[in-house]
Structure 1
Amino acid sequence: MAERFFIGDVVELKKEHPCGSKQWEIMRTGADFRIKCMGCQHQLMLPRPKLEKSVKKIIKSNDPLR
């Protein structure tokens, strides 16, 4: 089952960023996602399948139903 991601969610990825942080904030959703590293504020774009595969867990959610 595909997870739903919302703008403002903080997720933990399986691999860590070179700055040492594993936490990323979702800035944009759609076919591509823009995510921002919580450690160094670096931003990058990822296709939806790649992001869904690399998310380990959702740290903070903006979904009103969670």
Structure 2
Amino acid sequence: MAGASVKVAVRVRPFNSREMAKESKCIIQMSGNTTTIINPKQAKDNKSFNFDYSYWSHTSREGHSV
């Protein structure tokens, strides 16, 4: 498979009804193609990942920047 490449995309989906009923908080932030998972218990323990494509489909604009 010389020369083969893989493109990776990530999408933040909207909360489902169960997550909304529990008043869940979105812990994902996106900036460009960088996606960060925010640890609500340990703010210094955030994890960031880079993807070829990032799509924000969550119902809130919170956590999303371009």
Normalised TM-score (structure 1): 0.30
What's the TM-score once normalised by structure 2's chain length? 0.30
State the structure with more CA Rg: 2
- The structure that is strand-richer by fraction is 1
Question: Highest relative contact order (Cα 8 Å, sep 6+), 1 or 2?
Answer: 2
